[in-house]
Amino acid sequence: MLTQEIPHITACLLICCPDRPGIVAGVSQFLYLLGANILDASQHSTDPREGLFFMRMEFQLANLDKAALEAAFREQVAIPLQMEWKIDYSDRRKRMAIMVSAYDHCLLELLWRWKSSELPVDIPVVISNHAALEKECTSLGIPFHYLPVSSSTKELQERAAIGLLEQHRADFTVLARYMQILSPQFVSRYPQRIINIHHSFLPAFAGARPYLNAYTRGVKLIGATAHYVTNELDEGPIIEQDVARVSHKHTVEDLVMLGRDIERQVLTRAVKAHIDNRVILHGNKTIVF
């Protein structure tokens, strides 16, 4: 007689708390007594003057009762150690909405990575203020919504976008070169749930024309920055960055071409870190494991 295999769910625990001895031991002992198998553990302690401890731990547990696990962890570990914490589970794929304007390189990179199963998410909707990229999305079975915007219709357009994000139950949204500034009302609905790619190595050259500004200044490095969106333009917590070396021989067009390659890679790495629960946000700073 064949025995039925007991399903195992992978869980990912993220914590932030005041630093003190015994944190790792306390969490590990709690999971050990439940019969969990720890798959990965990473931790970071800040400067003693700040006195904070961050940890990411992956574990597997047969016949996982999520509510009971979280209630027990809260009472036995989190409250005594003054933890901010969350647990995410592998049996539910995150739902990633995408907002994009006319530039296609970041969108196409995300779609290719998704189609190749490198990004383990569902993409329930793509929203754009331009109609140009509809075919690229619908050919993959992804709903595409064209929401044009002007200064007089911005509030209505954002309201429609929010409606679509709610309708499609998006867990987070990626701005894949969405060339519109989101209102504080929009941003406040989705804290740490909107990822933007900015085409410069922030904090240098914030704003709309960084490659031209970089060329004018004669910089020797250009880059890209993926960050969480806040109400302060291009100043949200940074998730991922990268650079390429350039010289006086490069034209503005050269910088744009090189920059787009960096943007694609940086945005993909940031999205993957978010999907894998490797980012802990503290103030305007991220800890990325």
- What amino acid positions are annotated as catalytic residues? 234
Q: Is 229 exposed, middle or buried (0-12, 13-18, 19+ CB in 10 A)?
A: buried
> Smallest Cα–Cα separation from 257: which of 266, 241, 248, 244?
244
CB within 8 Å of 65: residues ≥ 6 apart: none
Helix (H) or strand (E) holding 198: strand 194-198
Helix (H) or strand (E) holding 274: helix 252-275
* DSSP code per residue over 42-101: EEEE--TTT-EEEEEEEEEEET--HHHHHHHHIIIIITTTT-EEEEEETTS-EEEEEEE-
